[in-house]
Chain A
Amino acid sequence: MLECQQLGWSTRGQSILRAVDLRVRQGETLGLIGPNGSGKSTLMRLLAGVLTPSAGAVRLEGRDLASLRRREIAQAMALVEQQAETADRITVRDAVELGRTPWLSALRPWGAEDDAIVRSALEVVEMSGFAERDWLTLSGGERQRVHIARALAQRPRILLLDEPTNHLDIHHQLGILQLVARLLVTTVIALHDLNQAMGCDRLGVLHQGQLVALGTPAEILTPSLLRDVFGVRATFLTDPADGSRIIRFHPLS
């Protein structure tokens, strides 16, 4: 679906991302983890086509992103950024309607179909009752839900989420993750919390700008990798409630 080969990005002579090979499979949820500054956001933005690679290429359904028109990319992929803010006085509906932008033009004006798509996107994120609310009155968690609804209104085949739970309280973090897990669309999600990353189908680990591991959470989240990449000692516990594995972290020494 979405893949990159030897992908690299550098700015001001400094290499931020090097030689990343990645192939996102149809229908999966692929998590990207890594310490701060490991290049997660950069990789997300490269995959979304917001940044232009300095080396290698991103291919969407077999075609180089650089050869596609912006509109075509946006019809296939939607990006939810960490925190996209506005000071404009817009309503929730206005924000979600922005998601229809890649499908509209002077010859294809807004129609009933678009209204229906916006309505169903709001339903999916359980914000239907908030449609007329002013953006500025929303909480952080609500804003992130609206961003996801906006991305869904793009009707993408691939959804890219860059740390969508950042800066949210735990209740809203879980809400967003549950919501993402329910979606039936191929998803690439950058995550900070490693226990939350356990819920992904596969995980990619970024370390100092390189993809150092890729596989299922059970294969990836090993004590040695957590020590080498994140600099922590990890012990694994089992939640008596449902038998799932939990990681507990300790300082190395």
Chain B
Amino acid sequence: MTTATLRQLGRLGGKGLLHGGWIGAVLAAAILAGICIGETAIPPETVLMTLANRLFGAGFVLDRIDQGIVWNYRLTRAIIAACCGASLAVAGVILQSLLRNALAEPYLLGISAGASTGAVLVTVAGLGAGAVSMSAGALAGALSAFLLVALLSRASGGGTGPRAAGQIVLAGIAGSQLFNALTAFIITRSASAEQARGIMFWLLGNLSGARWDNVAAAVPVALAVTLVCLWQARSLDAFTFGVDSALSLGVPVRRLQALLILAAALATAVMVSIVGSVGFVGLVVPHAARFLVGVRHSRLVPASALMGALFLIAADVVSRIAVPGQVLPIGVVTALVGAPVFAVILIRRRPAR
């Protein structure tokens, strides 16, 4: 390796640190806002003092209940929302790029539905007798759903051409319906009425169950999927003119597809098993990010991750304060934003000729 290359790498590392710095600051500010805003507003000083107490043992005198709300309830919630948003947005970027399809997204392709089925199979029907974790069940469900949808769209003449855009969404609808029906079937068969109500609420996307052990799972997954995707940014760029073009540019397409689809499925599965299926994040965020930073993945991936995190923190705040005395499922909020965006993309994608 030449010194020039080393210097270049050094500059790249410096740039990474610089961007990492401001992205971290923006995220921290958003999480702080997410903690403060709520049905009972908590002043930022209280939040910061609580964090200081917990993290550095600062010993400020504070109301124990406030401290509890901040540390065990709102902070975990905001962190999980950020991780979930980032993961789903990056999963959307991956699917849109690999499938060359502007409408590809974990929720629309039925991957979230498959993950729900897998999670419910483990928790409610007791599959694996406790040896299998909910996330592992969700991952198996997510992968089988993707496989089913991919095969179905291929069998219906999809492939990767422009016509495939419609086919794969149709296949996704079929997949979603099937897996949602399976989920409902499992719940009706195996869950008590009390359990069923809880699960139904969770399925629509619900952050109120977010605890510290979830944070320990969500943060590494969100970081990993973003970094893996960023590491492969150039290869994803090479798909601009389709799969054959990527191959002739030296991208090991099969291996990359396997790696990234596994990453997207894993991210979706872990987030679904914590939050339930939150739709449209993977659709809205990457499109907004493309609008702001362009289509190059070296910028699109970090931008999508950041914007996804911010979007879901904001959606969570809205879900808590929109209806006084009630918490909306976060999936309802994202769908209210996402469905119109979906419609706009659909209209703008109509063939120009």
Cα separation A85 to B296 with both chains bound (whole Å):
17
A25 interface contact, C-beta 8 A: no
Cα separation A163 to B5 with both chains bound (whole Å):
39
Cα separation A87 to B287 with both chains bound (whole Å):
13
Q: Chain B residues with Cβ under 8 A from A73's Cβ?
A: 250
**Nearest B residue to A136 by beta-carbon distance?**
B352
- Knowing A101-B234, A107-B5, A107-B9, say if A90 contacts B249 (CB, 8 Å): no
The stretch that binds B, out of A4-12, A44-52, A196-204, A218-226, is A44-52
A53 interface contact, C-beta 8 A: no
Cα separation A77 to B247 with both chains bound (whole Å):
11
Interface centre among B248, B252, B253, B349 (most CB of A within 10 A): B248
Binary flags per residue of A133-177, CB closer than 8 Å to B gives 1, else 0: 000000000000001000000100000000000000000000000
**Nearest B residue to A72 by beta-carbon distance?**
B250
The stretch that binds A, out of B58-66, B140-148, B238-246, is B238-246
* Contact A98 B295, beta carbon cutoff 8 Å: no
B198 CB to closest chain A CB (Å) equals 43
B168 CB to closest chain A CB (Å) equals 15
**Nearest B residue to A111 by beta-carbon distance?**
B8
B15 CB to closest chain A CB (Å) equals 10
* Contact B250 A102, beta carbon cutoff 8 Å: yes
* Contact B241 A86, beta carbon cutoff 8 Å: yes
A226 CB to closest chain B CB (Å) equals 31
Q: Chain A residues with Cβ under 8 A from B128's Cβ?
A: none
* Contact A98 B294, beta carbon cutoff 8 Å: no
* Contact B12 A48, beta carbon cutoff 8 Å: no
A142 CB to closest chain B CB (Å) equals 15
Binary flags per residue of A63-88, CB closer than 8 Å to B gives 1, else 0: 00000011111110111010011111
- Knowing A109-B9, A111-B8, say if A50 contacts B240 (CB, 8 Å): no
* Contact B248 A71, beta carbon cutoff 8 Å: no
**Nearest A residue to B253 by beta-carbon distance?**
A70
Q: Give residues of chain B (1-47) contacting chain A, Cβ–Cβ below 8 Å.
A: 1, 4-5, 8-9, 12
* Contact A49 B4, beta carbon cutoff 8 Å: no
Interface centre among B241, B251, B349 (most CB of A within 10 A): B241
A252 CB to closest chain B CB (Å) equals 36
* Contact B4 A79, beta carbon cutoff 8 Å: no
* Contact B1 A107, beta carbon cutoff 8 Å: yes
Partner of A70, one of B9, B12, B162, B250: B250
**Nearest B residue to A80 by beta-carbon distance?**
B248
* Contact B12 A154, beta carbon cutoff 8 Å: no
* Contact B248 A90, beta carbon cutoff 8 Å: no
**Nearest A residue to B96 by beta-carbon distance?**
A88
- Knowing A106-B231, A109-B8, A111-B8, say if A101 contacts B251 (CB, 8 Å): yes
Partner of A50, one of B235, B238, B248: B248
Q: Chain A residues with Cβ under 8 A from B102's Cβ?
A: 87
* Contact B245 A102, beta carbon cutoff 8 Å: no
Cα separation A50 to B4 with both chains bound (whole Å):
34
Cα separation A173 to B98 with both chains bound (whole Å):
32
Q: Chain A residues with Cβ under 8 A from B238's Cβ?
A: 98, 101
* Contact B247 A70, beta carbon cutoff 8 Å: yes
Partner of A111, one of B4, B290, B296: B4
**Nearest A residue to B241 by beta-carbon distance?**
A84
**Nearest A residue to B237 by beta-carbon distance?**
A98
13 A-B residue pairings within 8 Å (CB atoms): A49-B247, A50-B244, A70-B247, A70-B253, A71-B252, A77-B248, A95-B241, A98-B238, A98-B240, A98-B241, A101-B238, A104-B234, A109-B12
Residues on B lying within 8 angstroms of A by beta carbon are 1, 4-5, 8-9, 12, 102, 162, 231, 234-235, 237-238, 240-242, 244-245, 247-253, 290, 294-296, 349
6 new A-B contacts, CB < 8 A, other than A95-B240, A98-B237, are: A70-B252, A87-B102, A89-B295, A101-B237, A101-B238, A107-B1
